[in-house]
Structure formats: structure tokens, C-alpha cells
Amino acid sequence: LRARLIKTEKLSIVSELAASVAHEVRNPLTVVRGFIQLIGMDRKNDDPKNSEYITLVLSELDRAQEIITDYLNLAKQQYFEKNELCLSDLLEEVIKIMTSYANFKNVHFKNNIAPGLYVSGDASRLKQVFLNLLKNAVEAVSETDGEVKITAYASHEFTRIKIKDNGVGMTAEQLARIGEPYFTLKERGTGLGLTVTFSIVEQHGGTLRYQSQPGTGTSATVSLPSISKNLSAGAE
Ligand code: ADP
Ligand code: MG
């Protein structure tokens, strides 16, 4: 426990520091991105080589932006609101945001979200949870038959949200390590997404459980305490 505490403390110092750097770096990056885009739109630069380079620069800038976002999210955790919110609407919103990313990767979303599910929590933090989970699911599946199923329903005193993919899956060893800061199997991952995700879910008095089989797929289940309002919504 002590080792874990020291680790958590270290992480919070590192993340505070990283976040302030990340915050400062974000603005110049946005400016650079804007100018590169302008150069790309200029008809005088019609050399196909240039447009290839510009595409590369833009995608690397977006990548830098993603890393920054992961680090900023890691540090943002102490600011936490508690409001009654409609989880069904929140999920629909997150799915809408992720759909363009999924289409780009040719992944099919299948949604089954009960209407009128309510929980108490921080809307922007909870959005982060489902963005991270959906992003991992989309990244795990193949571009030919990738499918991600999102189910949400109330079950007794919990509201459960299950995100199931038919992607690469994980071995028991890999499963045991997810959520550990900087643990990633991706060439270009930060390994911070699930660290943040687990911590937000725990702050909401909930749990995040994984089931996974290499080559078959993964399912991630978030359970959040229901508030009395939705005890009958989509009950199983
Ligand atoms: P990142 O996505 O930056 O690698 P995460 O913390 O989001 O960091 O995930 C950590 C690791 O857990 C990933 O690199 C991946 O190996 C594994 N993982 C997470 N979700 C899934 C999933 N749905 N299917 C397979 N592996 C997963
Ligand atoms: Mg991730």
C-alpha cells in the first residue's frame, strides 16, 4: 500500500508538471496547425510532394495534440463536479463524437442505450471515460470487420455501460497491467487513457471491469451507482 501511495504521489507531481508544460505548448501548436493548413490551401504550392508533406505534418501535429490532451486529463482529476445528469444523453453525445473516427477506420458501432438513465457526477469527466473506452475499442479492431457494441441499462442499484469489441483482445498478463500509468502496447500510445479512466470511475463510486480473450475481443463494463430516478429504466 505504501509503495502504491508513493507511486500515486509521484504520479501527481509528474502530472501537474506535465500539464503545465502541455498547456503552454498547446497554443503555439494550434497556431502552427492553422498556418500549415493555409499553406496547404495555397494553389501556388501544387507540387504533390508538398501536399504529401503537409498531410504528414498535420497528422503529427494532431498526434502531439492527443498526447497533450492525455497529460492534461491526468492532472485535471482534482476538479470534480457532482450533478445529476442524463447518462443516456451523454452516451449518445460521445458516440456521435466518436462516429467520425470510427467511420474513418471503417468500424461499425452498434448501440443499445436505454433512455432515461441518470447518474450523479461530472459530465465532462464521464465523457472522458467513454471517449477513452470507445477510442481503445476502435483502435483494437480490424478495419475489415470491426464492430463495437455499446449497451447501457439500469440493473438494481447500478447503471451499467458495456463496451464490447471484436478486436485483438488481451492476454491475462496484459489485462493485469491496464490502467498502470504509461502501460501501452501501441506504437504511439501514451498509456495514460485508462489510468485516467479508472480514476474517474472510482471517483464516481463506480467500477470498471474487463473481460478479454486474445484474438476474440474485449469487453469493458462501467458500473455507476444509479440515482433513484432511473431504477426502472431499461432494467434487466
Ligand atoms: P493507450 O491507448 O495510449 O495505449 P490506454 O491506457 O488507453 O493507453 O490503454 C493501455 C493499453 O491497454 C493499450 O495500449 C492496449 O494494449 C490495452 N487495451 C486497452 N483497451 C483495449 C481493448 N479494447 N482491446 C485490446 N487492448 C486494449
Ligand atoms: Mg487509449
Dihedrals phi, psi of 153, to nearest 5 degrees? -160, 165
Please indicate whether residue 136, judged by its CB atom, sits closer than 6 Å to ligand 1.
Answer: yes
Measure 194 CA to ligand 2 centroid, in angstroms: 6
Each of the 236 residues of the chain gets a pLDDT tens digit; together they read 555 555 566 667 777 777 778 778 888 898 999 998 888 887 776 778 888 888 889 988 988 888 888 888 877 766 678 899 999 999 999 999 999 888 888 999 999 999 999 999 999 899 999 999 999 999 999 988 999 999 999 988 899 999 999 999 999 999 999 999 889 999 889 899 999 999 999 999 999 999 999 999 999 999 999 987 655 555 55
3-state class of 36 per DSSP?
Answer: helix
* Ligand 1 in reach of 63 Cβ (< 6 A): no
Contacts of residue 67, defined as CB under 8 A and 6 or more positions apart, other chains included, come to 22, 190
Q: Does residue 22 line the site of ligand 1, with CB under 6 A?
A: no
Per DSSP, the chain holds a count of helices (H) and strands (E) of 6, 7
Question: What residues contact 137, with CB distance under 8 A and at least 6 apart?
Answer: 148, 163, 164, 165, 167, 218, 220
ipTM rounded to 2 decimals? 0.99
CA of 15 to the centre of ligand 2 (A): 17
